[in-house]
């Protein structure tokens, strides 16, 4: 498992954080309100502080959940205070489609490490590049999986992101919304510096990465035979 790209685990189950925190190939973590809701998280602060004790010094991105700049800024201040390894996730637009660039600029000027999320369009990247300070660490999360869901190849967008941020050494381009193990190689090939991967795909990565295809063919036939036998099919 020697990838140049940084692999971050994307989830909200403390137990999965515990299992993955000690793995050397996992270099960071991310979460979001949707994942937390699916995992049954009820107390954001309690959840975050539990996770922070599990992951040690590895970076983690935690997202604001307000929809207006004032409360986003307030929540960002709280989240920033959780630890020096915490990045505050701010969406590039709010639920009304309003740009959050002014807020992003204000927070970055205050020295807040940001993960700008929900980016899908090149024009969003171009606007973001104008407000991110080169001296403050940031993560630019391009939702490649969602771009692919529309029938478009996300690789050119990632490549464009690297070009746009080529003069900002403090900004890292992240391939988000990973759908399959192949995306890890695709993300690395097109220049992404980080990829977020959910625990289920990480499990598949550990079990199947570069598995011999002839062996996999036999295992597939074995699976079909076993399931047919257990179903007691007759012809």
CATH of the domain at 75: 3.20.20.70
Q: Determine, yes or no, domain membership for 1.
A: no
- pLDDT value for 2: 58
| Residue found by looking up tokens 């295809």 in the block | 213
pLDDT of residue 28: 98
Verdict on whether the full-model pTM lies above 0.85:
yes
Q: How many domains does the chain have?
A: 1
Could you tell me the residue range of the domain that residue 65 belongs to? Answer: 6-230
- 206-213 LR contacts (CB < 8 Å, sep 24+): 206/1, 208/181, 209/1, 209/181
pLDDT at 222: 97
How far is residue 175's CA from residue 154's CA, in Å, rounded to a whole number? 9
235 assigned to some structural domain: no
Q: How far apart are CA 15 and CA 156, in angstroms?
A: 36
SS (H, E, C) 137-192: CEEEEECHHHHHHCCCCCHHHHHHHHHHCCCCCCEEEEECCCCCCHHHHHHHHCCC
Residue 20 lies in a domain: yes
Cβ pair 173, 140 in contact under 8 A: yes
Q: At what angle do helices 155-164 and 122-129 cross, to 10 degrees?
A: 20
Let me know if residue 130 belongs to a domain: yes
Q: Residue 214 falls within a domain, yes or no?
A: yes
Examine residue 23 and state whether it is found in any structural domain, yes or no: yes
First-to-final CA distance of the chain: 45
97 part of a folded domain: yes
Q: Which residues of the chain carry a pLDDT beneath 70?
A: 1-2
CA 235 → CA 227, 228, 232, distances in Å? 15, 12, 10
Look at residue 160 and tell me if it is in a domain: yes
Among 117, 116, 38, 112, CA closest to 82: 112
């Amino acid at each position: 498992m020697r990838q140049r790209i940084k692999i971050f685990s994307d989830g909200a189950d403390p137990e999965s954080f515990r299992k993955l925190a000690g793995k050397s190939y996992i270099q960071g973590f991310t979460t979001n309100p949707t994942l937390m809701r699916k995992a049954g998280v009820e107390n954001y602060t309690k959840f975050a502080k539990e996770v922070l004790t599990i992951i040690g010094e590895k970076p983690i991105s935690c997202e604001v959940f307000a929809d207006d700049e004032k409360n986003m800024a307030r929540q960002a201040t709280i989240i920033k205070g959780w630890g020096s390894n915490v990045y505050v996730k701010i969406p590039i637009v709010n639920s009304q489609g309003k740009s959050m660039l002014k807020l992003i600029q204000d927070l970055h000027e205050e020295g807040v490490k940001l993960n700008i999320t929900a980016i899908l369009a090149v024009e969003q990247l171009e606007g973001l590049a104008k407000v991110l300070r080169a001296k403050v660490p940031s993560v630019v999360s391009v939702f490649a999986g969602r771009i692919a869901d529309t029938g478009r190849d996300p690789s050119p967008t990632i490549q464009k992101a690297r070009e746009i941020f080529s003069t900002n050494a403090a900004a890292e381009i992240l391939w988000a919304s990973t759908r399959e193990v192949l995306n890890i190689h695709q993300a690395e090939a097109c220049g992404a510096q980080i990829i977020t991967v959910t625990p289920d795909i990480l499990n598949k990565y550990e079990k199947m990465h570069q598995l011999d295809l002839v062996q996999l063919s036999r295992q597939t036939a074995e699976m079909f035979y076993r399931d047919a036998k257990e179903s007691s099919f007759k012809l």
